[in-house]
Chain A
Amino acid sequence: MAGEPRVVIQQADFDLSEVVARLRAHDAGVGAVVSFVGTVRDRNDNSGRNVISAMELEHYPGMTERAIEAMIDVAFSRFEIRAARVIHRVGRLQPLDQIVLVAVTSGHRGQAFQACEFLIDYLKTQAPFWKKETTPQGARWVDARVSDDAALQRWGIPASNAAPR
């Protein structure tokens, strides 16, 4: 894994097994690998029905990578982890597609579970990505959620992404 970027933003799909294999390769100090994969739902919370036919993801090239790099630095300072990787897709996606992967290695499971959840909670409210979903009523930008801010606040980090300002 030496020389591989910790953060990758790409249009292409990713292979969880391959990413994890590279992340823990040659590190016999690893006793735990925890990964999270986010996928495109075919429904939003408003209707509960399968109304989403496509999802367009936009990001801020440069800032997005930098922001997630900084989050990984914070994760290393808070948890005893050995390696971390974030892959986030952009462009046009469809229901069932994979969107995001967070993978973390650690000596023991506790720290790996925590660091992985911390990173996805952090990313949800602080990394510049925007989702636009296509429904039978047309395309609409997805609203930020207060519950995502609350998820980050559990880690003691103030978040007001979804709050009106």
Chain B
Amino acid sequence: MKVTVRFFASLREALGSGETLDLAAGATVGDLRDVLMQRSAGHADALGRARALRCALNQILCNESTPLPDACEVAFFPPVTGG
């Protein structure tokens, strides 16, 4: 299934604005993070689980156990600091 990945703020600076990739059906947000971390040392560092990262599925905050539907958009970003 097709997944569009987007990065924001410090992740965007480190990894670019995102990419589209294919994942096996049934994959979760956490599985996607694992796949992305294998891309490069930079990915492994920026997406490492020592970091406090937030994720959103189809523009709604989610957690890593959330399953991915086909043709979805997943975003990873640091804690938010607006206002």
Contact = CB atoms under 8 A, between A and B. Distances in A.
Interface of A: 38, 57-60, 62-63, 66-67, 88, 99-100, 120, 123-132, 141-144, 148, 161-165
Contact of A127 (B12, B50, B80): B80
Contacts of B52: 144, 162-165
A60 B75 CA distance: 9
Chief secondary structure at chain B's binding surface: loop
A123 B59 contact: no
- Interface-central residue, B9, B51, B77, by most chain A CB under 10 Å: B9
Range, interface on chain B: 20 to 34
Contact of B82 (A62, A63, A131, A163): A131
A144 B52 CA distance: 10
- Interface-central residue, A62, A88, A128, A132, by most chain B CB under 10 Å: A128
28 contacts: A60-B6, A60-B56, A62-B59, A63-B56, A66-B60, A67-B59, A99-B83, A100-B82, A123-B82, A124-B82, A124-B83, A126-B80, A127-B82, A127-B83, A128-B77, A129-B80, A130-B8, A130-B80, A132-B9, A141-B81, A143-B79, A144-B78, A144-B80, A161-B54, A161-B80, A162-B52, A162-B79, A165-B53
A129 B82 contact: yes
A130 B81 contact: yes
A127 B83 CA distance: 9
B9 A141 contact: yes
Contacts of B78: 130, 141, 144
A123 B83 contact: yes
Contacts of A161: 54, 79-80
Contacts of B83: 38, 88, 99-100, 120, 123-124, 127, 129, 148
Nearest to B63: A165
